[in-house]
Amino acid sequence: MAPVPLAVTTSTKVDAALVREARAVAARWGLPFLPRRSKEGIAPWFGVKADALVVVGGDGVTLWDAEGSFAFHAGMAHLRRMRLRDGEPDAFVRVAELRPGDSVLDCTLGLAQDALVASLAVGPGGRVVGVEKSLALAIVAGEGLKRYELGADSGPIEVVHADAHAYLKTLPSGSFDVVFFDPMFAKPKKAQPAFEVLRRFAEHAPLTPEALAEGRRVARRWVVVKGARYTDDLKKLGLQEEPGSRFTDVVWGRIGPVSGP
């Protein structure tokens, strides 16, 4: 039999509770569950049982393939949230003009770094929906967020596994305050091995003018796009770079909404 593209299993410390949790993860995302014996290695499974595995352990979920692994981690988002709580500015919050009670649609969720910042900016009365085309990354983010303590000052983050353009087409006009796109940078810098695993599973298609137009229909205030400095990412979409720090590789563009047809 050919290997399945993606499956769920447990870590090496197998017990009944962990098996139940792993089976629940598999059921939530419609994936097969592969039982694992205690201390059994998964390296021989790749290309035989599965191409990639979501491993459920006591410390959360980890995405594995034959070349490495990647786990959910709040990373810089945790630091950004701390700074935001201390009253320091955040580029995303500033450009999107996020405020308490807002609804935000993150069309390129990835590992939810910007969604985590948005959840704090919009507060408990707000809402953040993150759309992720890659099933593997949607699972890592979705399960990771279940285990991350957002705090009473943050709004919920809902994870949707879908193609963002197709998902936008299903939404009524003006249904979110802010629509956000963060396409995977076409020219990556050298990164840690774990990030390379993420890059292998991530969606690499550029943001299209058609998807941007749908975002403008859905947004009430702004469509915000993150790009890479020293590229024409924003220019290709007819966006101007917003003023910001020159000491970062990230640039921001935004455009207002349009009325529906």
Q: What is the DSSP string of 143-162?
A: HHHHHS---TTS--EEEEES
- Residues 105, 196, single domain; the answer is yes
Single-letter amino acid, residue 184: M
pLDDT of 228 = 80
Q: Please compute the mean of the pLDDT values over residues 220-245 and round it to a whole number.
A: 85
Query: What are φ and ψ of residue 43, in 5° steps?
Result: -55, -40
- Residues 131, 239, single domain; the answer is yes
- Residues 145, 184, single domain; the answer is yes
For residue 215, what is the domain's CATH number?
Answer: 3.40.50.150
In a domain, 260, yes or no: no
Q: Domain tally for the chain?
A: 2
- Residues 49, 158, single domain; the answer is no
- Residues 237, 178, single domain; the answer is yes
**Taking 80 as the threshold, does the pLDDT of residue 189 lie above it?**
no
pLDDT of 193 = 53
- Residues 101, 225, single domain; the answer is yes
**Taking 90 as the threshold, does the pLDDT of residue 259 lie above it?**
no
- Residues 251, 134, single domain; the answer is yes
- Residues 91, 209, single domain; the answer is yes
pLDDT of 38 = 84
Among 66, 96, 117, residue at a domain's last position: 66
Tell me: the pLDDT tens digits for 79-98?
999 999 999 999 999 999 99
Q: Please compute the mean of the pLDDT values over residues 174-189 and round it to a whole number.
A: 79
As a whole number of angstroms, the distance between CA 55 and CA 15 comes to 14
As a whole number of angstroms, the distance between CA 81 and CA 61 comes to 23
- Residues 219, 105, single domain; the answer is yes
Q: How wide is the angle at C-alpha 107 spanned by C-alphas 104 and 113, nearest 5°?
A: 75
Range of the domain at 56: 4-66
- Residues 47, 84, single domain; the answer is no
In a domain, 193, yes or no: yes
In a domain, 194, yes or no: yes
Torsion of CA 98, 102, 108, 109, to 10 degrees: 100
- Residues 24, 142, single domain; the answer is no
Query: What are φ and ψ of residue 149, in 5° steps?
Result: -85, 100
* E-only strand ranges, the chain: 4-10, 50-57, 60-65, 68-71, 103-106, 127-132, 157-161, 176-181, 219-228, 250-255
In a domain, 153, yes or no: yes
- Residues 46, 105, single domain; the answer is no
Quick check: 11 and 56 in contact, CB under 8 A?
Answer: yes
Question: Which one, of 234, 221, 225, lies nearest residue 97 by Cα?
Answer: 221
pLDDT of 194 = 55
Q: Please compute the mean of the pLDDT values over residues 165-178 and round it to a whole number.
A: 97
pTM (2 decimals)? 0.91
**Sheet-wide strand order for 50-57:** 4-10, 50-57, 60-65, 68-71
